[in-house]
Amino acid sequence: MNRRHFLQSLAALTAAPAWAAPTPWKLNYMLASAMYGNLSLTEILPEVKKTGSTGIELWPKKHGTQREELDAMGHDKFADLLKQNGVSFGGSTRYDLGPLKLTEEIKLVKKLGGTFIVTGGTGEYKVTPEQLRLNVKAFVEKMKPHAALAAENGVEIGIENHINNLIDTPDSLRWLADDIRDLPGIGIALAPYHLPQDTQLLSDLIRHIDQKMTLFYAWEHGLGCMKPMPKEEEIQQMPGRGKLDWKPLLQALREVNFTGPTEIFMHPTPRGIPILPTAAETTAEIVRAKNHLDSLI
């Protein structure tokens, strides 16, 4: 081998060593604007990177005002703000629109480089298990054209399991996952808060949902979020504050190789306020929860 061939071979080995270890699995954090209540985007966007997140998801009233602020300031100005802060746009939560009226939101999310919209299911849920199964199937049929439009635009509609909703129980989640398994453009935004705080159940649901997970909420029930309570009690919805053992859930996420957005999340009472009095305190609490989750991986 002459010198030139030797150097070329050496360069190739250096560029792609056969012994290189695979990249370790980790959570991909997304920041929910609602964690900062009604604070402005100019106040929130500088906090995104500090929380360890790569992007932001916008919420509308009553949980936040940032989705309305986006429309008021204009899409181009919002895109400039994202660029100035080195932040990407993940998507939006639109319970206000519901799953069947997302056409314009899909276009907007695509325009801004986002990939998901979170909303709820629709249909009667106070029915027998047999009827609920049929209602989930009927819901998926209604969603097919909307999912197709989302897929065409590189967006996924994440249906969140939520109390008083068609998709609420573990069974309804399993059925939804099964019915959308081969349907592009629609997935599940899994919220452990709204489910029994059973680590085996939650881990099994993660494995069952598998590649249909649009978004994962790092959000436990704690003492709930439906009535005023001292902040040290309310904040037990955050990972590492309540009683939920997150390690089995993280192991399940690793097993299915979930690389979609994970949002550290909780609801304050009343809605529309930051989870802690200031942006700095809110950011610090999100960082604490992130460090807790990362320490378990």
Q: Indicate the pLDDT class of residue 23, thresholds 50, 70 and 90.
A: confident
Cα end-to-end span (Å), the chain: 46
3 pLDDT more than 60: no
Residue with tokens 């939520």: 162
Tell me the two tokens of residue 185. 């453009």
CA angle 55, 58, 63 (to 5 degrees): 135
131 pLDDT more than 50: yes
Q: Indicate the pLDDT class of residue 18, thresholds 50, 70 and 90.
A: low
Q: CB atoms < 10 A from the CB of 228, how many?
A: 9
Tell me the two tokens of residue 276. 């802690």
- CA of 223: how far to CAs of 201, 219, 237, in Å? 19, 12, 7
Question: Could you tell me the sign of the dihedral formed by the alpha carbons of 80, 84, 88, 91, in that order?
Answer: negative
Alpha helices (H) in 52-128, listed in sequence order: 66-73, 75-85, 103-111
- Provide the whole-model pTM: 0.91
All structural domains of the chain, each given as residue ranges with its CATH number in brackets, are 30-295 (3.20.20.150)
- CA of 5: how far to CAs of 1, 47, 112, 272, in Å? 6, 50, 47, 65
Q: Which residues contact 154 (CB under 8 A, 6 or more apart)?
A: 110, 115
User: What is the reported pLDDT for 22?
Assistant: 78
192 pLDDT more than 60: yes
Q: Which residues contact 160 (CB under 8 A, 6 or more apart)?
A: 118, 119, 120, 167, 188, 189, 190, 191, 194, 217
User: What is the reported pLDDT for 19?
Assistant: 60
Report the relative pairing of strands 55-58 and 156-160 from DSSP bridges: unpaired
pLDDT tens sequence across 62-117: 999 999 999 999 999 999 999 999 999 999 999 999 999 999 999 999 999 999 99
User: What is the reported pLDDT for 16?
Assistant: 45
Q: Which residues contact 56 (CB under 8 A, 6 or more apart)?
A: 30, 31, 32, 33, 44, 45, 48, 82, 87, 88, 89, 90
User: What is the reported pLDDT for 7?
Assistant: 47
User: Which residues on adjacent β-strands are paired with residue 158?
Assistant: 118, 187
